[in-house]
Copies of this chain bind each other. A is one copy, B any other.
């Protein structure tokens, strides 16, 4: 009924399926499938005919059907705190490039470092049957049901930037302890004696490592640990601002900040208080960016290999997806101290030089 004896499938708005090309080239779907994945050798003539049909129909295999059949999606989920935090874009970029190289796509999620959002994102990713998940773990433990599901589907995770052995021992992180150690050692060499710390949330592994590096560097430099000079933030600007106010009121002569965003907050606070860096206090912070060299104060930073962080995480994850049984491993990448001006090294050089020459 209706408009004539059409075969019922409206031609418009319908991508060709493997059946269409099979019919077009007068072979079975198996043969088409075989030439697509060039599997078991298909005769030259048939192969040509099939390829011709594929071109003619603009056929592209439906990857969701393939995913269902093969039980793998060639998609990996990536959960970061917040892509708008300038730290993450480069690691995401590193991950995306590595993923694509292996034929994988990236499903990007933001957790805002919130357990609840993180759990929701993971559930969704599991439902989408991603082949693996890259996770910058927020503080807190998964609810039992989620843990069960994760165990049940047996999907590989690899942690990025932060460890969380309860979930998996596979992780790629930066050597935060060393980075912090270098940073405050440098501050001390530059002549600082009362060094403050604005740390990340101590519920999270890298904040702990950075704090520990801070303490140990202090100790090895023979400097006292003053409780009033240590403030815990949450890696965001606002917390750096508050911490900055609190900290600077105790008049440290140097401060080490555990990430860039909090450094920005600290600088805001300093400006409000009429304090200048590096004249009034030395400063070294984590995370470096290409543009930090052109703005004053020229920040002395410890740079993390962000891109590599992302790419190595993906490489490891894909090895796991492919069933690698290499033993669980946390890959620790080395940071790099980039000395510019905010540490006041030039300023205090003479004093520093005289003390170090005494050794």
List residues of chain A with CB under 8 Å of any chain B CB.
12-16, 55, 58, 60-65, 67-68, 73, 75, 82-86, 88-90, 92-93, 96-97, 105-110, 123-124, 126-129, 145, 148-149, 152-154, 237, 260-261, 264, 267-268, 271, 290-291, 293-297
Contacts A88-B89, A154-B13, A291-B264 known; A127 to B61 CB distance under 8 Å? yes
Question: Of the candidates B60, B290, B295, which one forms a contact with A296 in the assembled complex, judged by CB atoms under 8 Å apart?
Answer: B295
Minimum C-beta distance from A241 to chain B (A): 10
Minimum CB distance partner of A295 in chain B: B295
Which residue on chain B has the smallest CB distance to residue A271?
B294
B73 and A64 form a contact (CB under 8 A): yes
Contacts of A12 in B (CB 8 A): 154
Q: How far is the CA of A86 from the CA of B297 in the complex (A)?
A: 20
**CA gap between A293 and B83 in the complex, in Å:** 21
Other than the known A15-B153, A83-B92, what 13 A-B pairs have Cβ atoms closer than 8 Å? A14-B152, A16-B152, A58-B148, A64-B64, A65-B68, A75-B107, A84-B93, A89-B89, A96-B110, A97-B110, A106-B107, A237-B290, A268-B294
Q: How far is the CA of A88 from the CA of B93 in the complex (A)?
A: 12
Copies of this protein in the assembly total: 2
Closest Cβ neighbor of A14 among chain B residues: B152
A38 nearest CB across to chain B (Å): 17
Q: Report the Cα distance A239→B126, complex, angstroms.
A: 43
Instruction: Please determine whether B58 and A68 come into contact, CB atoms closer than 8 angstroms.
Output: no
Residue pair B86, A264 in contact (C-beta under 8 Å): no
Contact of A267 among B61, B153, B264, B294 (CB under 8 A): B294
Query: In the assembled complex, how far is the CB of residue A234 from the closest CB belonging to chain B, in whole angstroms?
Result: 15
Asked if B73 contacts A84 (CB within 8 A), the reply is no
Query: Are B93 and A82 within 8 A (Cβ)?
Result: yes
Q: In the bound complex, how far is the Cα of B63 from the Cα of A76, in angstroms? A: 15
Q: B96 to A89, Cβ gap below 8 A?
A: no
Take A15-B153, A84-B89, A92-B108 as given contacts and tell me if A268 and B297 are in contact as well, using a CB distance cutoff of 8 Å.
Answer: no
* In contact, A128 and B68 (Cβ under 8 angstroms): no
Q: Is the CB of A90 within 8 A of B84?
A: yes
Complex formed: what's the CA distance from A249 to B186 in Å?
Answer: 38
Bound form: Cα–Cα A296–B267 in Å: 11
Interface centre among A90, A127, A148, A294 (most CB of B within 10 A): A294
Question: Once bound together, how far apart are the Cα atoms of A83 and B106, in whole Å?
Answer: 13
CB contacts (< 8 Å) of A63 on chain B: these are 127-129
The reply to whether B123 and A96 contact each other, CB–CB distance below 8 Å, is no
Given A96-B109, A106-B108, A107-B106, verify A60-B149 contact (CB < 8 Å). Answer: yes
| A90 proximity list for chain B (CB < 8 A) | 84
The answer to whether A264 and B294 touch across the interface, beta carbons within 8 angstroms, is yes
**In the complex the two chains form, what is the Cα distance from A313 to B145 in whole Å?**
36
User: Which single member of B15, B86, B123 contacts A60 (CB below 8 Å)?
Assistant: B123
Q: Which residue of B lies closest to A103 (CB)?
A: B124
What are 19 A-to-B residue pairs whose CB atoms are below 8 Å? A58-B148, A62-B68, A64-B64, A68-B68, A84-B90, A86-B89, A96-B108, A96-B109, A105-B109, A105-B124, A107-B108, A108-B108, A237-B290, A237-B291, A260-B291, A261-B291, A264-B290, A268-B294, A295-B295
